Structure 1
């Protein structure tokens, strides 16, 4: 049986970084693996395919660079390098597909924004889909400071 996995949705928001740090620390405490998922919005169709392909390649490169950067941080925090995945499409569907395709996923870890709405994924997975998932959902408040974050893990 594969090691339990924490799936963390990574983007460039501050709350994503807090959730990532929590997941890495928690995974190291319980012997779990981390998988980092970044979802690229679908590109709009352009009449000039070469321009669209170049834009998609640029977005893919930026996503890979983001995941490589945070994977190094996670390795420092958790002691092991996480796996990384880039998907293109609607974020909710990409996360659902990842969870459905990997039975080792024990938790979906999301960061909630400090102000305003908690974010579209938090709203979706803690609301409409909360009772139907095959894993738990961990919502990490984006305003947690380092000391409290460590205490909670």
Structure 2
């Protein structure tokens, strides 16, 4: 039987850290592990495929470097290295649909709501409006307040 995966979108938003800390705590307390999704937008160079390929290669290298830094935190919190998932997609929602459809071990999507009056964030708002559509799979979504402290996360997770 595969371990339960907590999927976190590894983006540059200020609330990402809250989602990551929460997912790490839940993974540790349930014997699961964390998967980090980094979405790369496809390069738009129609005329020179070599240029497009180079841009996409550089974007992938940058994504791997970012995920590697995040992995240090995940290992410190859970004792287990995270799984890296890097996807080229037009949008985060499309990337999520593909990743969740392809991996039945993903059991929970952990998101953090926006902070500072910016609203819940585009993905949380989209899910609230349109629902969770991951193909044939049903998957719980945990939305963590983006401004939770470490102590509050420890208490909740």
- Aligned residue for 1:141? 145
Q: Does residue 104 of structure 1 match 2:105? A: yes
**Paired residues, number:** 153
State how far apart, in whole Å, the 1-side matches of 2:80 and 2:138 are: 25
- Aligned residue for 1:88? 88
- 1:43-54 equivalent positions in 2, closer than 5 A: 43-54=43-54
Q: Contact 2:38–2:86 at 8 Å: present in 1 too?
A: yes
- Aligned residue for 2:125? 123
Offset, 1:131: 7.3
State how far apart, in whole Å, the 2-side matches of 1:95 and 1:49 are: 26
Mind listing any 5+ residue stretches in structure 2 that lack a counterpart?
Answer: none
- Aligned residue for 2:23? 23
TM-score, normalised on structure 1?
A: 0.92
State how far apart, in whole Å, the 1-side matches of 2:57 and 2:125 are: 30
State how far apart, in whole Å, the 2-side matches of 1:44 and 1:103 are: 32
Q: Deviations over 1:15-48 (max 9, x none)?
A: 1111011100111011112111111112223423
Q: Could you say if the C-alpha distance between residues 60 and 103 of structure 1 is closer, same or farther in structure 2, counting changes exceeding 3 Å?
A: same
State how far apart, in whole Å, the 1-side matches of 2:36 and 2:60 are: 15
Q: Contact 2:45–2:51 at 8 Å: present in 1 too?
A: no
State how far apart, in whole Å, the 2-side matches of 1:91 and 1:65 are: 19
**CA RMSD in angstroms, aligned pairs only:** 1.6
- Aligned residue for 2:114? 113
The runs of at least 4 aligned residues of structure 1 exceeding 4 Å deviation read none
- Aligned with 1:81: secondary structure? coil
Q: Deviations over 1:71-110 (max 9, x none)?
A: 1110101111111110011211110111111112110011
State how far apart, in whole Å, the 1-side matches of 2:133 and 2:102 are: 18
State how far apart, in whole Å, the 1-side matches of 2:120 and 2:29 are: 27
